């Protein structure tokens, strides 16, 4: 199980790096928005300088403004719109989500919850009347089923009903641990859009503050800074939140199904001790 623990964290690190690549992916619709803002900014000074500007100057200015959106990459525009605060916040949330996703996927495997080797070995030892060896096998297994069986076998001398109660208590505790680990993914699905909403309000406040503090008509580029912050923070927050909510619902149902199966399998194995339970 220690090797499985280290392999879990190794997979979490690899998946986190993959999550960074996805987080920094290119969104195809955003460059169009940049081009529209650049075109609006180009049209404003052209109207003001129309009587003074020469055709040669206008011809030289047009390629410069048209080349401006091409020189700035989408990744750089994302970073400038988010700023250090929102960038670090979303990176932390996305890294945590990927790491928790890998850990929950590994822990929710059927073989990790109910190892087939444990079931086969337990049945074999029981058929050979090696009850102490069966107890040692279950006790040394750190899986969900192993913990439940070892708790039941430890209380078997007190009676079959006491053994079943002990199994139920341990089963509820193990299920709570799995659900507790999964709840952090649900928390990410709630926090991420809230951070995006905070960025939306922050960006709109910046844009309206430019209008309020300007004595003349503000340039579109000055307004676009706050608007881009509002839109991109919302976009990134939803990009993280939607998969988190989907994964949370899927894994929650899987955990519930696995817990039910552990209860059925463990009671089926322990039911063979019902006649031998009163013996000491």
CB 135 within 8 A of CB 153: yes
Contact at 8 Å (CB) between 135 and 107? no
- Is the pLDDT at 231 greater than 90? The verdict is no
CA torsion 226→230→233→237, rounded to 10°? 170
What's the half-sphere exposure (Cβ side, CA atoms, 13 Å) at 131? 12
Tell me: pLDDT of 53 over 60: no
Q: How far apart are CA 121 and CA 182, in angstroms?
A: 30
Share of the chain above pLDDT 70, in %: 69
> What does the pLDDT average to over 36-61?
48
Q: Spell out the long-range contacts of 37-44 with Cβ–Cβ below 8 A and sequence spacing 24 or more.
A: 37/220, 37/221, 37/224, 38/65, 38/66, 38/68, 38/69, 39/65, 40/220, 41/65, 41/219, 41/220, 41/221, 42/66, 44/219, 44/220
> What is the pLDDT at residue 71?
61
Q: Which position has the higher pLDDT, 60 or 174?
A: 174
Question: pTM score > 0.85 for this model?
Answer: no
Cα–Cα distance between 97 and 16 in angstroms, integer?
8
Q: Which long-range contacts (CB under 8 A, 24 or more apart) does 162-166 make?
A: 163/270, 163/273, 163/277, 164/267, 164/270
How much is the pLDDT for 19?
46
Alpha-carbon distances of 192 from 26, 78, 126, rounded to whole Å: 20, 17, 51
Q: Which residue has the higher pLDDT, 196 or 160?
A: 196
At residue 153, the pLDDT reads: 83
């Amino acid at each position: 199980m220690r090797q499985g623990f280290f392999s879990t964290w190794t997979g979490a690190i690899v998946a986190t790096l993959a999550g960074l690549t996805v987080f920094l992916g290119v969104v195809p619709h955003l460059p169009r928005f940049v081009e529209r803002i650049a075109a609006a900014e180009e049209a404003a000074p052209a109207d003001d300088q129309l009587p003074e500007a020469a055709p040669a100057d206008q011809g030289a200015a047009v390629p410069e403004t048209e080349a401006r959106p091409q020189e700035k990459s989408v990744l750089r525009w994302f970073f400038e719109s988010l700023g250090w605060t929102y960038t670090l916040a979303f990176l932390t949330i996305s890294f945590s989500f990927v790491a928790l996703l890998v850990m929950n996927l590994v822990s929710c495997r059927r073989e990790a919850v109910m190892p087939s080797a444990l079931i086969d070995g337990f049945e074999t030892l029981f058929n050979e009347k090696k009850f102490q060896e069966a107890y040692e096998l279950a006790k040394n297994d750190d899986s969900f089923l192993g913990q439940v069986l070892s708790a039941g076998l430890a209380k078997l001398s007190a009676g079959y009903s006491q053994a079943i109660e002990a199994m139920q208590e341990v089963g509820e505790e193990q299920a709570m641990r799995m659900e507790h680990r999964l709840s952090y993914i649900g928390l990410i699905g709630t926090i991420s859009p809230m951070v995006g909403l905070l960025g939306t309000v922050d960006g709109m406040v910046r844009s309206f503050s430019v209008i309020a503090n300007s004595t003349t008509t503000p340039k579109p580029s000055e307004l676009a800074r706050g608007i881009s912050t509002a839109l991109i923070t919302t976009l990134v927050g939803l990009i993280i939140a939607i998969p988190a909510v989907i994964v949370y619902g899927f894994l929650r149902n899987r955990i519930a199904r696995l817990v039910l199966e552990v209860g059925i399998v463990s009671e089926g194995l322990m039911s063979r001790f019902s006649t031998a339970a009163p013996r000491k």
